[in-house]
Structure formats: structure tokens, C-alpha cells
Amino acid sequence: MSVEITAVYPGSLRCVATHGPSNASLATGAPVDNGGTGAEFSPTDLVATALATCVLTTMGLVAQRHGIDLSGMRVRVVKEMTHKPVRRIASLATEIFVPAAAVPEQEHRSRLEAAAGKCPVHASLHPEIDAPLTFHYE
């Protein structure tokens, strides 16, 4: 299955992308440390966002199959950039906060944690990006 995304550059280090199937749009902008205003998500912020939402969605799919309600689960991703050898994402440290009462059994926790590590975005990251997943059951 393919999905078409189009993007337009209106200027001022901003872009507007449109999701073909839904016609939803979002704006991006260059970060402050790269000459932008920081008023929108940067393109690399969207990578971190994609990772966070992919982990949540993938875990949600597994939970749904096993009758587990993960409502309230949340993810925090801290993106770090580097300039060596070129400007790129160096790390995406990801913390997943799971309602402990929703997943009391270790078997289900192990299954959910494995699913998070196999989310398509995490699996697509370049191996030089440090992308640890840390789980917290609250």
C-alpha cells in the first residue's frame, strides 16, 4: 500500500505537507539552532514524533488483540542532534509510561515491550541512531 505525501515550500524556512488520503496538512519549520524560529515541529522533530506515535500505536494493536486497555499510556522522546560527521539525529531516547494496573502480568508486559521494539519507525532508524526504549509501569 502506498500513501502520497506532498510538500510545498512557501519560504522563510517553512514547509507545508499534505497527507494525500485525508488531505490533512501540517507545517514544519527550521529549528532555532539552524536559523529558524522554532515555531513549528522541525523535520527531525517529526522523526521523534513518528517514533513516539508508532510505539504507542504498535503497542495498542497488540494490547487490543489481548483485551488490554492502555488508555493513558504515554511516550516521551528526547531527540539529540549531532554535527559529526554531518548534521543528523544522534539519539532518540524513548521512555514509555504504561498504566501498571492495565498490564499486571509479566507475560503481557514482555509481549508489549517486544512489540514496541518492532514498530516500523524504530525498525527503520539508521543503526547509528541510539534509540533505546525504557519502560515504566506506573
DSSP per residue over 78-98, as a string?
Answer: EEEEE-SSSSEEEEEEEEEEE
In this predicted model, what pLDDT tens digit does every residue of 74-122 receive, in sequence order? 999 999 999 989 999 999 999 999 998 988 889 999 999 999 999 999 9
Q: Cα dihedral angle (1, 110, 54, 58), rounded to 10 degrees?
A: 40
Secondary structure (3-state) at 119:
coil
Q: Is the pLDDT of residue 39 over 90?
A: yes
Q: Is the pLDDT of residue 1 over 90?
A: no
The CB-based long-range contact list for 56-63 (8 Å cut-off, 24+ gap) reads 57/119, 58/115, 58/116, 58/118, 58/119, 58/120, 59/96, 59/98, 59/112, 59/115, 59/116, 61/115, 62/111, 62/112, 62/115, 63/102, 63/103, 63/112
Which pLDDT band, with edges at 50, 70 and 90, does 70 fall under? Answer: very high
- Is the entire prediction scored with pTM above 0.85? yes
Side chain identity at residue 55, one-letter code: V
Distant-in-sequence, close-in-space partners of 118: CB < 8 Å, separation ≥ 6: 58
- 106-117 vs 43-65: helix crossing angle, rounded to 10: 140
Looking at every residue in the chain, the average pLDDT score rounds to 96
Query: What per-residue confidence (pLDDT) applies to 37?
Result: 93
Query: What per-residue confidence (pLDDT) applies to 104?
Result: 86
Query: What per-residue confidence (pLDDT) applies to 132?
Result: 98
Side chain identity at residue 14, one-letter code: R
Which domains are delineated in the chain? Answer: 5-34 (no CATH), 43-137 (3.30.300.20)
